[in-house]
Amino acid sequence: MARTAGNNVARFLIASGLTALCGLPTVFQPAPRNIDIFSYNPYAANSEYRISEICRTLHGDVIGLQGTQRRQFGQSLFNVSHDLSHLHPLQVTRHGDYTGYHWGYGNGRFTNKATGVSLLIRRKTFSPAWVTQVISPPPALQGRGGALRLKHGTLDVCFFCLYSPSEPRNTEERNAAEAFYTWLYSALARLPRRSLCIFLGDLNAHVGSIWNTEDVGPQSVGSFQPQAENNNGWRFRHWMQQHHLCAANTHFPSAAGPTYWAPTGHGSRVDYIVVPLESLPSVQKIDIWRKAARELQVFQTARPRDHSPLHMRIQVARFHEPKQQPPGIKWDYSKINTALYSTRNNNNTQPFIQDIHDTFSQPHIYTRCQQLLLQETLDDFWDFFNGQLREIAAKHFTLNNNNNQHALTLTLTRQAPCGRKSRSHFPSCNDRRQSRFRSGNTARSVIRSYLLP
């Protein structure tokens, strides 16, 4: 059975022109990279000076701001024209080393002047060209959230910045909370599972009470400093359970304390950084920056007021693709074409096919393939299969670099003239172009005659 499987594999690969040989990725897992992420409600950040002050103090790779009190782009023109086409959900600005993406507050049903969110992305870490998708809320929730998806090489990450409605006290406020989480459900449904989603938000939610915890296995809400769950907390916890997410700061004692201080001096935890459950081990550090909060707070009081920045350091994939093939391997396309022609004529006696038979007939390789085929995805199987195939192909379809270099050297090298020629003896521009053309044809003819079997 293993021999039949190897025969089918060989027929498929050679019949398809052996195109996989030229671009097989090596079995390589990129080393992770640490990025620093902040979530902060600054009370107001609608001026260039205020945003520059926040960037200078926090200096993270990604900074999510809630409650910026920034107006929706085009609002002034809309107030005069009343034309909805003048309103734009997103405004992009530059702030020193950062690119700012602002979802200002609008005239929506569930928004007000205290809302508005922004994502500040450091350009040295994430290029603006990597932004492949922008997710904006519906007009009724304008200023309540926004998201950016960045893709580059092995990196695929989506940053959400969220500002949930306050704890509902009447039917209209309950409708606002329902609309907010309905949009979150739909936004996540449009993203692929391979994308790493990180949520930065002031969610006005209290979670962590043991009598309300229904998680089985890994907890969506950690056990540190639990709070009595409110209505927003119930929605927040169920949303995380549905999508296998967790509130990362509730799993670390250094970040589970209060993030908001009321005028009465009472502290509560309403700010969260949410990551997938499987990404929780990648979180290197998470804490509350209380000293930075004292420097940035708008209220000049002796004790802390309003929100404190929440900081997380997490490992993500390297941003650049690994090399598709190691240096020094050059494929002999004439041999590949010969193998292709031979296979199309039902000639299965060539060494490459026999080598595939022998390799995939080995019990340990066949067993390993069967085990990988039982996994949820075929990524690991394809990496293992490509690695085996590449090793076999390198034995049969690579150029002999030493012999090729020696042949080209003997053919193309000319004896250098003795002495120095006068300027009149040097060839003209046309002569040099014709000489290069003849030399190029000679080199190509030598290579072609040397490489053909």
Q: What is the pTM of this model?
A: 0.65
For the chain, what is the mean pLDDT?
79
Q: Where are the alpha helices (DSSP H) in 268-361?
A: 290-296, 333-344, 351-360
Between residues 231 and 421, the one the model is more confident about? 231
The pLDDT assigned to 106 comes to 87
Distance CA 230, CA 233 (A): 5
CB 315 within 8 A of CB 33: yes
> Rounded mean pLDDT of 315-326?
60
Of the pLDDT bands very low, low, confident and very high (cuts 50, 70, 90), residue 400 is: low
> Rounded mean pLDDT of 275-283?
92
Q: Specify which of 12-26, 180-194, 325-339 reaches the highest per-range mean pLDDT.
A: 180-194
Residues 6+ away with beta carbon under 8 Å from 214: 241
The pLDDT assigned to 214 comes to 52
Q: Specify which of 48-57, 404-413, 428-437 reaches the highest per-range mean pLDDT.
A: 48-57
Helix axes 171-189 and 231-242, enclosed angle (nearest 10): 20
Q: What domains sit in the chain, N to C, each tagged with a CATH number?
A: 1-28+337-399 (no CATH), 33-316 (3.60.10.10), 406-453 (no CATH)
> Rounded mean pLDDT of 3-24?
47
CB 192 within 8 A of CB 149: no
The helix (H) or strand (E) run that includes residue 187 is helix 171-189
> Rounded mean pLDDT of 425-437?
47
**175 Cα distance to chain centroid:** 34
Task: Give the closest residue to 60 by CA, choosing from 107, 98, 92, 94.
Answer: 98
For residue 422, is pLDDT > 70? no
For residue 412, is pLDDT > 50? no
Task: Give the closest residue to 392 by CA, choosing from 359, 369, 362, 347.
Answer: 359
For residue 61, is pLDDT > 50? yes
Write the pLDDT tens digit of every residue in 105-138.
988 899 999 999 999 999 999 999 999 999 999 9
- Tokens in use for 247? 């509130």
Residue-wise over 407-417: b if at least 16 C-beta within 10 A, else e?
beeeeeeeeee
For residue 416, is pLDDT > 50? no
Distance CA 221, CA 204 (A): 15
For residue 26, is pLDDT > 80? no
Distance CA 25, CA 61 (A): 30
Write the pLDDT tens digit of every residue in 343-382.
666 665 578 778 888 888 888 888 888 888 887 677 777 8
For residue 3, is pLDDT > 50? no
What values do phi and psi take at 407, rounded to 5? -65, -45
The pLDDT assigned to 77 comes to 74
Of the pLDDT bands very low, low, confident and very high (cuts 50, 70, 90), residue 193 is: confident
Long-range Cβ contacts of 447-453 (<8 Å, 24+ apart): 447/404, 447/408, 450/404, 450/407, 451/332, 451/334, 451/399, 451/404, 452/334, 453/334, 453/335, 453/338
The pLDDT assigned to 75 comes to 77
- Quickly list DSSP for 418-449: SS---GGGS--HHHHHHHHHHHHHHHHHHHHH
Between residues 442 and 238, the one the model is more confident about? 238
pLDDT more than 70, % of the chain: 74
**End-to-end Cα distance, the chain:** 34
> Rounded mean pLDDT of 314-323?
67
Count of CB atoms within 10 A of residue 317's CB? 18
Write the pLDDT tens digit of every residue in 38-51.
999 999 898 999 99
Between residues 344 and 276, the one the model is more confident about? 276
Between residues 167 and 8, the one the model is more confident about? 167
For residue 83, is pLDDT > 80? no
For residue 144, is pLDDT > 90? yes
* Helix, strand, coil in percent for the chain, rounding step 5: 40, 20, 40
- Give the angle subtended at the CA of 215 by the CAs of 213 and 216, to the nearest 5°: 140
The pLDDT assigned to 336 comes to 79
